[in-house]
Structure 1
């Protein structure tokens, strides 16, 4: 494998390297991290022939400008994003071959908050605590534990067999939407909720908007102020991605990939794993509502999403991930 790489000419709004989540370390205070939208991250990797958890770039709201020193195969998944390589439009949700020296310019995300750029072979970065994912709060993993900056150089494990002489998108593409993320344009997104306390009934009755202060740690919501049924001071309790907390201001927070390992705010519910990709794609100002579900509903949704990804992976493998 060649290890030449990619140069960051401009970093975009917030671009980080994300790979596998760090599982089994929350008892030590280490957040699981990984991609905020694991569905789109896995899909981009599958399209270029990588394992689902291979290191890729997570792009938030507006993307970077990159120069590739070698011919590569790339794929963009997640939010539709403005993209061109040397003046040629680069479509999403399909593999695209780029020649050596190509400049890939990624603009604004159009219909979501995060897009993912995978490169065949992946980024050749060292693993820290079992993953190459960037932990922004801890300052480790990825590219020096931080978001990309202009001038950064990321090594690649791109296969030498890719010999593109021009920008060449595949003639085929895949439908990227996970089962839980389909909703009519302009309508509030429906998010399933496993009730944790009596307060969950109240949150499910109210409409919500995404606060601009949201980040990879949590999605802050704006709406009718909720009152905690039991307002007594609490001891910190374990939390995880998907946990819905209710701070004293009555505005819920849904924890995302970089969720802390414990917290003192009341836990009023939990979003099933299948709906985390949708949460990760909600932009500031987006509307959502919660729909109470049962553990059986959540397990079924998770299983359906895994099965669909397996079917997509088989279909991509049958094509050989070739343009």
Structure 2
């Protein structure tokens, strides 16, 4: 079950899953403060897209929504609701009515929301006013990491006071991923260091919520080196013996022993979440101050959005 302080307003299921799509999961922005116990942060791979949807609805940033990966998703609503779809581009409809992505829309009790995609990027996020406070899989206990199944039931928090649609411009995809040098960067050969920053890397089909696995020129150490297991977190770029980098994502383990050649800055992790298998990316070297500036740009984006909503 999903524990939440939000009020559960209805005793029956507010949403019924008719068609679950491929690996659709209920996600928040992650759980912090427990990595020392071996518990991953988890949460949305593209947390900025989830926060955007919640902001447009007036939900707290950490309100749970549905992370969509691919395929057709059909959800029957049993209460009037407002919703937003952000992130990857999906075909969205209620009956024969087409819906815009990135806009706050209303659905009435008894209607079915259909989402098909993605046509671009990788993960979309469905947020709903009040948020998802309980996920009851058919016959077993709930978990935010468990994919939705046909017949699952979702319960929403208290209905919010929303009167009209509103939308926001979403980001375009960019294949340049800004990163800081990692603590073991100097252990790699000069050729490998140059290859990491100047070559392109293709995302493989082996990627998942734990890590983005890349394929390209194999990276190698100047000399064999045994490392003790050490703390890692989302964004860390590890290089296993294969020489092919792995960028750790939301569900990554809390410790690892592979050398860390770089760390993707927090402001750019969403780009990896929206990269599709077969697409390529390039790492761009930045300084700590540039990483801070990138995070500030996101803060300003959400600040301007809030100002616009307050004035609407």
1:133-212 equivalences under 5 Å are 141-142=143-144, 145-159=145-159, 170=165, 172-177=166-171, 183=174, 189-196=175-182, 197-198=185-186, 199=188, 200-212=193-205
Is the 8 Å Cα contact of residues 83 and 90 (structure 1) preserved in structure 2?
A: yes
Offset at residue 313 of structure 1 (A): 2.5
Corresponding position: 1:216 with 2:209 = yes
Uncovered stretches (5+) of structure 1, i.e. residues with no partner: 127-138, 164-168, 184-188
**C-alpha separation in 1, matches of 2:9 and 2:130:** 10
Which residue number in structure 1 is paired with residue 300 of structure 2? 307
Offset at residue 303 of structure 1 (A): 1.3
Corresponding position: 1:73 with 2:106 = no
Would you say how many aligned residue pairs link Structure 1 and Structure 2? 291
Offset at residue 230 of structure 1 (A): 4.1
Offset at residue 227 of structure 1 (A): 1.1
Is the 8 Å Cα contact of residues 209 and 222 (structure 1) preserved in structure 2?
A: yes
| Structure with greater strand percent | 2
Which residue number in structure 2 is paired with residue 252 of structure 1? 245
Query: Over residues 3-57 of structure 1, what are the superposed CA-to-partner deviations in whole Å (9 max), with x where a residue is unaligned?
Result: 2410001110111111131111111100011110011000011111211110100
Corresponding position: 1:293 with 2:262 = no
Offset at residue 110 of structure 1 (A): 1.3
Query: Over residues 256-301 of structure 1, what are the superposed CA-to-partner deviations in whole Å (9 max), with x where a residue is unaligned?
Result: 1111101111111100000011111001011110111111111111
**C-alpha separation in 2, matches of 1:284 and 1:270:** 21
Offset at residue 161 of structure 1 (A): 5.7
**C-alpha separation in 1, matches of 2:263 and 2:223:** 18
Which residue number in structure 1 is paired with residue 57 of structure 2? 48
**Worse-superposed segment, 242-251 or 220-229:** 220-229
Q: What SS does structure 1 have at the residue aligned with 2:36?
A: helix
Is the 8 Å Cα contact of residues 29 and 50 (structure 2) preserved in structure 1?
A: no
Which residue number in structure 2 is paired with residue 11 of structure 1? 20
**C-alpha separation in 1, matches of 2:178 and 2:161:** 44
**C-alpha separation in 2, matches of 1:16 and 1:270:** 26
Which residue number in structure 2 is paired with residue 32 of structure 1? 41
**C-alpha separation in 1, matches of 2:26 and 2:310:** 25
Corresponding position: 1:105 with 2:114 = yes
**C-alpha separation in 2, matches of 1:301 and 1:206:** 23
Q: Structure 1-normalised TM-score?
A: 0.85
Residues 1:111 and 1:272: Cα distance change in structure 2 (over 3 Å): same
**C-alpha separation in 2, matches of 1:141 and 1:310:** 32
Runs of 4+ more than 6 Å apart: none
Is the 8 Å Cα contact of residues 56 and 116 (structure 1) preserved in structure 2?
A: yes
Is the 8 Å Cα contact of residues 70 and 117 (structure 2) preserved in structure 1?
A: yes
Residues 1:304 and 1:69: Cα distance change in structure 2 (over 3 Å): same
